[in-house]
Amino acid sequence: MPQIETVVKKSLYMGRLTQGADLLEELDRICKDRSLECGRVEAIGAVQKACIGYYDQRQRQYRINTLDEPLEILTLSGNVSLKDGTSMVHAHITLADKEGRAFGGHLMAGTVIFACECIIEAFDGPAFNRKFDPETDLQLWDMR
């Protein structure tokens, strides 16, 4: 049975991120500085290099792929919730190289911004808290 909550858009933040900064850390910092507890993130732009993860469901661990080349951000989509009482961004990213080949996965630290524009929507409603889920070994929303 799905666990669904009703939320209402509260604020919209739009801006350009810092060249040379870590993409995930920059998004996390913006959300922490604004004490966001529930929201949505999207972005477009380019990165100098990327670290993306794939969650191996059998081994129950992330496998990290490092792409050490300039790449376009085709899509970045994610959410904002709380982990241990602090704002946290969980995002997935799709990137393309100069040949148009696409790569995607879980956005990991180590992805360096070349140019990036982002939109963050903050929502009113219950805080979405992440808790350890023993069925998956992941930190998932605890809707109880």
Non-local CB neighbours of 8 within 8 Å, separated by 6+ positions? 123, 124, 125
pTM of the predicted structure, to 2 decimals: 0.91
Q: Residue 79 and residue 98: Cα distance in Å, rounded?
A: 28
Mean of pLDDT values over 63-89: 97
Least reliable range by pLDDT among 6-10, 26-30, 64-68: 6-10
Is 13 in contact with 33 (CB distance < 8 Å)?
Answer: no
115/3: higher pLDDT: 115
Do 38 and 122 form a contact (C-beta atoms < 8 A)?
yes
Between CA 7 and CA 124 the distance in angstroms is: 6
Query: Is the predicted pLDDT of residue 1 greater than 60, yes or no?
Result: no
What are the chain's domains?
8-124 (3.30.1330.80)
pLDDT confidence band for 4 (50 / 70 / 90): low
**Residue 23: which H helix or E strand, with range?**
helix 23-33
- Per-residue confidence (pLDDT) for residue 118, from 0 to 100: 97
Please give the share of the chain, as a percent, with pLDDT higher than 90.
Answer: 85
